[in-house]
Every structure is written in structure tokens, then in C-alpha cells.
Amino acid sequence: MALFPIFILILIAPSSTNAQWPPSPGYWPSSRFRSMSFYQGYRNLWGYSHQRVEQNALTIWLDRTSGSGFKSVKPFRSGYFAASIKLQPGYTAGVITAFYLSNNEAHPGFHDEVDIEFLGTTFGKPYTLQTNVYIRGSGDGRIIGREMKFHLWFDPTKNFHHYAILWSPKEIIFLVDDVPIRRYPRKSAATFPLRPMWVYGSIWDASSWATEEGKYKADYRYQPFVASYTNFKAAGCSAYSPAWCRPVSASPFRSGGLSGQQYRTMRWVQRYHMVYNYCEDNKRDHSLTPECWG
């Protein structure tokens, strides 16, 4: 008889799996864009000796001597930019693996950037995926970050997963395996990147801030720190496209935005997997981020 109440409790207890894996977004934008090999769209930027291309997959690594980075062959003014990435397990504190848009070489000290960054971690703790947007503000002592951070619903070291940035003149959408995790709408020209940007990827030592605000540093006893990229996608309006080039969309609607189902999925991810939102940080000066309250 004692088993009966236990059975009832199991039936009525909420399932923890509902808070682990996101509901279907109902739309898969990655299927709309053709994959390319690394050399079709990218070139090495730095750390050439720490980069290897095999069977359309790029491997880059960091050790005591260098990290590595790559860059798209052309700049874009809008588009869908993605890669499937696999991260290194174990101790990776202080190490940043990144996939991002930037015009830092065209506008040094005054550039725009849209980031997907994986913040390295210590044993037994998950990676943090950091998304960030900043506009005309690096190298001048007034970097205004717009960070939202997530702990993913899977282990990004086990398999490749697809990470994407959709950038149009009216919004930026970050996606993981076609699941939208963040939408950053254009509310003013002052808070939105509009100048052409290139696509970059890199692995580097950011021990001063990457892991728990710099508490844990890169430990080169665990070198090399390796990241693999494949299934590259970069489609949209390049900086050289005609004025009539139409921005691509991450939703079923050509006009952009997200469908109702995509919005619900994004809100679910933010409810269960977001660990930091700059707009909710009371230590921040939100007069510098008017999009939080505008």
C-alpha cells in the first residue's frame, strides 16, 4: 500500500525535462542557406600555424605561443552568418572561442560588433554562451556592452551544434540549432550597428575577464585548447551588393521578425537558460542603454 502514494506523487510531480529542452520553434532558417567550405568564404587572419582545415572542417587552437583567428573574404551590410562549432571539454577557464561580426579593422577604436562567445569554464561547470552587441565603442574607455548570457540545454563539447547571427537593418537575432535565443531590435541609429561588417572566428586568452570575472585563468598545463568549425554559412547583402538587395529573414515572413511560435520558444529559453541580462543588472548605468527602457 505504501507504493500507491509514491506512484501518485510521480504522476502529479512536474517533469524536470520540460525545463531542459526547448519547444520546437516551428521554423528552421538554416535550411534556407547553402553551406560553404572554409576557403569559399574565409581566410586565415592570424595564428596560421594554429589552424588546420580538413574535409571542410576548420580546427583552431590556443597554446602558450598563440591563438588563431579567421575572417570572411568580404564585408556584409546584412545577412545570415553561421557555423557548426564543437568545443573542448575539461578545464578551459580564461579561453574564449568566438564567432562574430565586426568592423574593427575598418574603424579601429570606434567599431561595431555582434558577438557569439563561448566563455571557458572549470571542471564540472557548463560553458557560458555570451551574446553581445556594441556600437561605435571600443578602445576609448567607454565600451558599452549589451550582454545576455546563457547556459545551453546540451553539452557543446559532445557534438557540433549550429550557431547563427541574423543581422538586418531592423534587428539582430541569435540562434542555436535554429532556436532563437535573443532578438535585439533596432530602436535608434545610436543603439544599432549599421556600418558594413566582416565575419570572424577566433580562439584566444581572455583570462582577465572570461571566467567568473577573471577569477579563473587559462592554465596551459591543459593546452592545446581546441575548437572546431564546420558547415559555414554566410548569405545576404554584401557591402558591394546593389541597393535593392533585400535583407534575409530568420522567420517565415520575408519582412523579418519572429513567428509567434519562435517568440514562445525564445521566451522559454530566456526563462530557463538565461543566466545574465544586462538590462536587469542594477549595477549598470542604463542611461547608456536606452533600449532597455525605451
Sort residue 272 into left (φ over 0), alpha (ψ -120 to 50) or beta: alpha
Question: Do residues 227 and 3 lie in contact, with contact meaning Cβ atoms separated by under 8 Å?
Answer: no
Distance, in Å, from the CA atom of 155 to the CA atom of 195, rounded to the nearest integer, reads: 35
Count other Cβ atoms within 10 Å, centred on residue 265.
Answer: 22
Q: Which residues are the active-site residues?
A: 113, 117
User: From residue 9, how far is each of 6, 17, 19 by CA, in Å?
Assistant: 5, 16, 19
Alpha-carbon span 128 to 121, nearest angstrom: 8
Task: Answer for the pair 30, 37: CB distance below 8 angstroms, yes or no.
Answer: no
- Distance separating alpha carbons of residues 113 and 206, to the nearest angstrom: 17
Q: Which residues of 24-44 are buried (b: 16+ CB within 10 A; e: fewer)?
A: ebebebbeebebeebeebbeb
Lookup result for grid cell 532556436: 179
First CA to last CA distance, the chain: 59
Among candidates 93, 62, 77, 88, which has minimal Cα distance to 193?
A: 77
DSSP-based three-state secondary structure for 48: helix
The residue written with cell numbers 575572417 in the block is 71
